[in-house]
A and B are shown apart, each in its own frame.
Chain A
């Protein structure tokens, strides 16, 4: 008898819990907290963004906030994409560090972002297999054994469906091989397909979206029945939730600098009340999650180890000092590597993008990071011969001040006169061993900085504007002038991969750029 009395509180508690969990959500008001991040891009440690006086972010601090906020009410922790690619902390491990972090933080679900495809489908499948949470992508067709369209979570009897959609622009912003065999449907099409099914099994529908804030607003206006859109892709700092129709839209900026908090009161499947804000994340003594801090430091130490890795040998000094005033062997080597990677006829890159040389001897990963420290990627655009001449003229127009626009080239050679006035310095140009034809089109590779007008190069943008189908389909170029565009692979990684294969390099200045007087 005494033994049974001792068990009575436990029995009563069990009965109460059973009632709570078995009672349908109907007629009960349930509080649900949604914590969300987006576009982490591997920015694990605090950093000082351009224009900021202080360091912001630090995922260990963000994790500390998650822990505190999770204790207060039933919570879902969601990631709206672009988590595994970007900063070296993620890139050097092809996102394995990011997934380990998200497992440690116990994320409930993630949608793929466009950059999740940047390491290729095989790597993405590995990352998905490592994840202890579902990775969603309802509008991605053809990705076998990996992406789920949705997941349904039970929060104290409230059935919450989380469905993921990613931007259909993904194929245009990554290497074609990364998305081979895949089809990216319009997000609204995927939602219209799944929503009827979700409505039968869930009280509340959350769209975990990586399509950008503008597209989130359009989606909310077009597709009824969505309770919340947790967004990403546009790196929007939505300080408070927005509302379009009956849909709440949120987004938490970027790079672990903010944690989104959305509190919902849900009754009979309807959101009766809500409030939301962004917790700004920055280093603050005592606020870190210790386990996450250890993980961050562990991978940071591995970054240093990878940076020290030997990848090749320079048989002679590689000149990074004179890249703004003349052809150098390092400029030639880099331009040759980029031409091969892009499959282009020629390359024109700015000498100013080459920030260091490499002495004869061992080449490490860190050396290449010093040579190419900027997060630039490779593009290739069709230029006419006339436009190539304009580009080269611009490149040699700042000789006197050693301007960064001085070109390093591959696949073409040219002569110029320093004495001639700027704009009329370039004399003979050969491409592929033949005299340049001003009316012929050539595929010219460059970096995104120059393609966007960096260092004053206008010709790449002008070439795109002149494309016959430039304004076709909402202003998106469909490839008439754009030949190569790998926004997910930095130039330094292209070079590192080349050196790992090649092992030894011994480039010589071979007279591509000749000053004649």
Chain B
């Protein structure tokens, strides 16, 4: 499954979550530093949130 983290594509297995996407993008450490993950509509999403194909996630 392909999703986009800060506009960069990452490939993951079915059943993987926002946490895996951030891990793959090398951004998981930013969450511990206080940043959050958001969907393309600007809603915060939990790290255990499910992904969907072509989903866009932003860390800020």
Contact = CB atoms under 8 A, between A and B. Distances in A.
A236 interface: yes
Nearest to B30: A51
Given A51-B33, A449-B23, A475-B2, A235 B50 contact: yes
Given A51-B33, A213-B39, A475-B2, A452 B49 contact: no
Contacts of A454: 23
Contacts of A49: 47
Given A474-B53, A475-B53, A476-B53, A254 B46 contact: yes
A477 interface: yes
Contacts of A253: 44, 46
B8 interface: no
A55 interface: no
Contact of B24 (A213, A239, A452): A452
Q: For this complex, into which size category does the number of interface residues on chain A fall?
A: 35 or more
Interface string B9-53: 011111110101101100000011111100101011111111011
Contact of A51 (B15, B36, B49): B36
A86 B48 CA distance: 10
Contacts of B39: 213-214, 234, 236
Interface stretch (A166-174, A304-312, A326-334): A166-174
Contact of B31 (A41, A51, A465): A51
B43 to A, nearest CB: 5
B37 to A, nearest CB: 10
Contacts of B32: 50-51
Nearest to B1: A475
A214 B14 contact: no
B54 to A, nearest CB: 7
Contacts of B23: 449, 452-454
A482 interface: yes
Given A213-B39, A234-B45, A477-B14, A167 B50 contact: yes
B43 A236 contact: yes
Given A213-B39, A215-B52, A39 B13 contact: no
Interface in A159-190: 167, 169, 172-174
Nearest to A487: B15
Interface string A457-498: 000010011000011001111000010010100000000000
A173 B14 contact: yes
**Range class of the B interface residue count:** 20 to 34
B22 to A, nearest CB: 9
B24 A461 contact: yes
A134 B43 CA distance: 30
A237 B49 CA distance: 10
A244 B44 CA distance: 19
A456 B44 CA distance: 27
B15 A172 contact: yes
Interface in A229-256: 233-239, 242, 253-255
A213 B53 contact: no
B46 A237 contact: yes
A464 B24 CA distance: 14
B20 to A, nearest CB: 4
B50 A452 contact: no
Given A41-B48, A237-B43, A474-B53, A51 B35 contact: yes
Given A39-B46, A235-B50, A237-B45, A452 B1 contact: no
Interface string A286-326: 00000000000000000000000000000000000000000
Contacts of B13: 379, 448, 451-452, 464, 477, 482, 485
A507 interface: no
21 contacts: A50-B31, A51-B31, A86-B48, A167-B50, A172-B14, A173-B15, A212-B52, A213-B41, A213-B43, A234-B39, A235-B48, A235-B49, A236-B45, A236-B49, A237-B45, A239-B43, A254-B49, A452-B13, A461-B10, A464-B11, A476-B1
Chain A to chain B: the 4 pairs with minimum beta-carbon distance, closest first: A173-B15, A235-B46, A235-B49, A487-B15
Interface of B: 1-2, 10-16, 18, 20-21, 23-24, 31-36, 39, 41, 43-50, 52-55
Given A235-B46, A448-B20, A464-B13, 18 more contacts: A39-B48, A51-B34, A172-B15, A173-B14, A214-B52, A234-B39, A234-B45, A234-B49, A235-B18, A237-B46, A452-B16, A452-B24, A470-B11, A471-B2, A475-B2, A477-B13, A477-B14, A482-B14
